[in-house]
Amino acid sequence: MSIHLAIVTPCYNEEKSIIPFLQSLEKNLAPTGQSFSIIVVDDCSQDDTPTLLSSFRFSSLLLTLQVLRLKFNMGHQSAIYQGLLFAHEINSDFVIVMDSDGEDDPRAIPSILQHQKFDIVEVRRGRRSESLSFRFLYKVYKMIFHFITGKSMNYGNYCMINKSILERITFTAFIHFPAYLLKQKATKTYLLFDRGKRIEGKSKMGLQGLLIHSFKSFVEFGEDLLMLFLKIFVVIVMVILVLFADILYQKLIAHTAILGWTSTLLLGLFTIAILCIGFFVTGILLLNLIHQQNNKSQKDLYSIIKK
């Protein structure tokens, strides 16, 4: 019984790297002897990326190129989602998701394919080459993420998922693909592979992009965030009650109260508690609501320009 393998890779303005990337894919996939559908999701590029993709042909008959062009720029994660919808449509049994800039090294794919008994195969990056500030902030983000969720974020988009996970995605969608996979109850394993060298240009993930990307991962764990800030709220309320009891004791029994300071402190703590619980609960609930509404209208937002 044949197994249908697909690779989903988003791209945006990659005119200098998309062809070398596809050639590198072919070099590493052809020796496996297996057939692949390469699904490139063009996130409405404004350079020559669409033209280059339209004219490209693989030398190997084992590889077929299918190009989806999004109707408007949707962002990296949404581009992955559209590619996965198409992979489900063509009845893929296993899907590898990877970036097209060369940093997700295609040389890891033969090793990934050896773990098809797992639902999710993560490719964790070993040696990294970002700036010191970026690596520092990324470590801080991972520490905060682990504190809030109790889980470790050790990989990016590079992974392989099987048909059952692909099926879940079509019904539930995601706003942050790695975080979505992290919370799935499924059999998992991982490979450690050094980050590849970017084919051309600088990474589009700057410090601002990292912050936005990080916040989206927290949205996937909205329930955990709600519980965390509920606990913070409860702790602050308990502190307020203790301080209030101390005020009553100082004024009514000990007669040693220092006028003003406790009331000011209580007011400040109460204000912090209200802002904390109100801002984060409302924010997370609204984001989840918007995300769910968007999921209902996210299908068929691409046109097939090459099949």
pLDDT in tens, 252-282: 787 676 666 666 666 766 777 666 666 666 6
User: What pLDDT, on a 0 to 100 scale, did the predictor assign at position 62?
Assistant: 92
pLDDT at 154: 78
pLDDT 10s digits, 49-61: 999 999 999 999 9
**Helix or strand or coil: residue 48?**
coil
Torsion region of 162: left, alpha or beta (phi above 0 gives left; psi -120 to 50 gives alpha): beta
Euclidean distance between CA atoms 271 and 122, whole angstroms:
43
* Token pair recorded at residue 290: 């918007």
CB contact at 8 A, 243 and 237 = no
State the pLDDT confidence band at 217, using cuts at 50, 70 and 90: confident
pLDDT one-digit tens code per residue, 81-94? 999 999 999 999 99
Which residues, 6+ apart, have CB-to-CB distance to 68 below 8 Å? 39, 40, 41, 42, 82, 83, 86, 302, 303, 304, 305
What pLDDT is attached to residue 208? 63
- β-pairing, 94-97 with 155-162? antiparallel
Whole-number pLDDT of residue 259: 60
Q: What pLDDT was estimated at residue 306?
A: 60
Q: Which of 156-160, 216-220, 263-267 has the highest mean pLDDT?
A: 156-160
Per-residue pLDDT at 91: 94
Segment 200-220 shows an average pLDDT of 69
- 147 vs 48, more confident: 48
